[in-house]
Amino acid sequence: MQRELYEINEIVVFRADATNNIGTGHLMRCLILADELLKHSYTSIFVVKDLHSDLIQYINTRGFQVILINGEDISIEQDATTTIEFVSGLINKPKWIIVDHYGIDYRWETMLRPHVKGIMVIDDLANRSHNCDILLDQNISHNYKLRYNKFITPGCKLFLGPEYLILKEHFYASRHDIQPRSGAVKQILVFFGGSDPTEETMKVLNCLNKNNFNDVEFNLIVGLSNKNKQVIELKTKQLKNVNFFCQVEHISELILKADFALGAGGITMWERCFLGLPSAVTVVADNQQESVLVAEYHQTIWNMGWHENIISQDYNNIIEKALGLPNVLKRMSEYCLNLIPGSRLDYVINEIVNPIKAD
Query: What is the H or E stretch that residue 201 is in?
Result: helix 200-210
How many residues are listed for the chain in this entry? 359
In angstroms, the CA 101 to CA 149 distance is 19
CB 68 within 8 A of CB 56: yes
Q: Is 200 annotated as a binding residue?
A: no
CB 124 within 8 A of CB 134: no
CB 321 within 8 A of CB 332: no
CA dihedral 297, 298, 304, 305 (to 10 degrees): -40
Q: Give the C-alpha distances (Å, rounded to integers) separating 42 from 9, 18, 38, 352.
A: 5, 23, 5, 10
The candidate with the shortest Cα–Cα distance to 37, out of 102, 98, 106, 116, is 98
CB atoms within 10 A of CB 131: 18
Active site (catalytic) residues:
26
**Complete DSSP assignment for 33-95:** HHHHHHTTTEEEEEEEE----HHHHHHHHTT-EEEEE--S---HHHHHHHHHHHHHTSSS--S
CB 270 within 8 A of CB 248: no
Residue ranges at the known binding site for substrate: 271
